[in-house]
């Protein structure tokens, strides 16, 4: 039966949302993950993956009974009237009303905290996490200052189709800010092309293009970074996360003279938030040498801040840190900090930990490790910094169990 399923079109009632930008339906007792749909709809879907006994994957190809929260897709290149193989990836929630997008992301976050993080329903209710809107257009377009595109063998430029390495040529980028969209070429060389609208100006560059650093401004502070180095893509994100970190840190637990840490610190954005006016001692740790060098320069006016170029796991095992009384801030990559790093932090018993996460499942998994070592989340805020996608950003503060 499985050999005959791929390519078959079936009618499905969509039940709920899942992590990863897909919804959940059932067919003959089997879970089917359905792209380009949303809960409450009935869709005609094409089976795309039947290799697993417990679940299949499918793409919606026609909406039979739409949800009231379905809207015209913000990007025609990704709309359901296109064949799934030719739908642009990177805007998997673009057919959903923005308020419903945020509610769905909140559902995913809450489910992850309980199912993966091991929090009780009462603990989640006390945290009351809800993905909040951020400054910008309500429809979520013009929300990316950095866009990575791909180039096919004939030189055509576009994103990959969802869950594939197939380039979908496009002639517009509505999720990009206008300065970046204006740089979209018809054709290019190489395999990748980044369109960047920075505080120093807009440019298009391939991964091997030589280009000097750029400068971004957050409030009254400037941050210098490599032209294609990591920086938050939403125009409001640096300020939103700076504010969230400052709110998360409990001033009663912050010792300015402790060995406070900013792990996975990049070019120093969140270390600056922790340092305040410069009276707080903080070490920012970043494995990428150029980013760490920029962090040192960006924080040079803060006399009690320093930057260390090192892998976080090596740093934590190479020095007796973090020490009791410290505040530890960490902003790991999408995969999370991982059990070894979490264990090293938790077992050192700092005063508080502020965890910035861009993946709810990785966050929940790491919170579960913290919990196994006697830590609990005291606060949690979440933000819709990636509108029209399934991604979100969260900031949690953890404290030792009483």
Distance CA 399, CA 143 (A): 34
Whether the pLDDT of residue 189 is over 90: the answer is: yes
264 annotated ligand binder? yes
Q: What is the pLDDT of residue 3?
A: 55
For 331-346, the pLDDT digits (tens) are 999 999 999 999 999 9
- Residue 212, token pair as written in the block: 């000097």
Say if residue 135's pLDDT is above 70.
yes
Residue 286 is labelled as binding a ligand: yes
Express each pLDDT in 200-234 by its tens digit.
999 999 988 889 999 999 999 999 999 999 999 99
Over residues 139-174, the pLDDT tens digits come to 999 999 999 999 999 999 999 998 899 999 999 999
Mean of pLDDT values over 378-391: 98
pLDDT band, very low/low/confident/very high, at 329 (cuts 50, 70, 90)? very high
What integer pLDDT is reported at residue 320 of this predicted model? 65
- Residue 400, pLDDT > 80, answer yes
**Nearest alpha-carbon partner for 377 in 399, 351, 347:** 399
What's residue 4's pLDDT? 76
Report in angstroms the alpha-carbon separations of 31 from 7, 24, 52.
17, 7, 10
**Per the annotation, does 331 bind a ligand?**
yes
Which pTM does this prediction carry?
0.95
User: What does the pLDDT look like over 241-294, one tens digit per residue?
Assistant: 999 999 999 999 999 999 999 999 999 999 999 999 899 999 999 999 999 999
CATH superfamily of 2-70: Nucleic acid-binding proteins (2.40.50.140)
Residues of each domain in the chain carrying CATH 3.40.50.150? 101-137+234-400
Radius of gyration of the chain (CA): 22
What residue ranges of the chain are covered by domains with CATH 2.40.50.140? 2-70
Half-sphere exposure for 142 (CA within 13 Å, toward CB): 9
Q: Is 295 helix (H, G, I), strand (E, B) or coil?
A: helix
The CATH class for the domain spanning 101-137+234-400 reads alpha beta
**Mean pLDDT across the stretch 50-78?**
96
Is the pLDDT score of 1 beyond 50? no
* Residue 325: exposure state from Cβ atoms within 10 A (0-12, 13-18, ≥19): middle
- Is 114 marked as binding a ligand? no
pLDDT at 322: 78
**What percent of the chain lies above the pLDDT cut of 90?**
93
Mean pLDDT across the chain, nearest whole number? 96
Active-site positions read 358
Q: What is the pLDDT of residue 2?
A: 44
């Amino acid at each position: 039966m499985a050999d005959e399923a791929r390519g078959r079109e079936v009618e499905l009632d969509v039940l709920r949302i899942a992590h990863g930008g897909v919804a959940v339906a059932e067919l003959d007792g089997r879970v089917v993950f359905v792209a380009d749909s949303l809960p409450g709809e009935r869709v005609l879907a094409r089976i795309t993956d039947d290799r697993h006994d417990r679940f299949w994957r499918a793409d919606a190809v026609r909406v039979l009974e739409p949800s009231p929260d379905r809207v015209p897709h913000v990007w025609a290149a990704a709309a359901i009237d296109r064949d799934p193989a030719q739908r642009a990836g990177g805007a998997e929630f673009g057919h959903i009303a923005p308020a419903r997008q945020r509610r769905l992301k909140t559902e995913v976050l809450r489910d992850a905290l309980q199912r993966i993080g091991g929090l009780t329903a009462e603990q989640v209710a006390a945290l009351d996490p809800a993905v909040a809107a951020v400054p910008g257009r309500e429809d979520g377009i013009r929300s990316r200052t950095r866009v990575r595109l791909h180039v096919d063998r004939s030189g055509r430029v576009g994103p990959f189709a969802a869950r594939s390495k197939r380039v979908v040529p496009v002639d517009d980028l509505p999720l990009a800010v206008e300065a970046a969209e204006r740089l979209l070429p018809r054709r290019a060389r190489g395999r990748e092309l980044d369109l960047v609208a920075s505080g120093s100006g807009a440019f298009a560059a391939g991964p091997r293009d030589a280009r000097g650093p750029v400068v971004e401004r957050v409030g009254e502070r400037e941050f210098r970074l490599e032209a294609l180095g990591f920086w938050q893509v939403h125009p409001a994100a640096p300020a939103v996360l700076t504010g969230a970190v400052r709110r998360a840190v409990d001033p009663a637990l912050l010792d300015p003279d402790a060995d406070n840490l900013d792990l996975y610190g990049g070019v120093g954005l969140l270390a600056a938030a922790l340092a305040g006016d410069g009276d707080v001692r903080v070490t920012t740790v970043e494995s990428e040498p150029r980013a760490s060098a920029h962090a040192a320069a960006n924080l040079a006016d803060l006399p009690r801040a320093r930057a260390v170029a090192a892998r976080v796991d090596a740093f934590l095992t190479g020095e007796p840190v973090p020490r009791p009384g410290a505040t530890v801030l960490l902003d790991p990559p999408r995969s999370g900090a991982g059990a070894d790093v979490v264990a090293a932090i938790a077992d050192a018993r700092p005063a508080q930990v502020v965890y910035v996460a861009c993946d709810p499942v990785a966050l929940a998994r790491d919170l579960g490790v913290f919990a196994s070592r006697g830590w609990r989340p005291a606060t949690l805020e979440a933000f819709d910094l990636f509108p029209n996608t399934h991604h979100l950003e969260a900031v949690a503060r953890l404290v030792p169990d009483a």
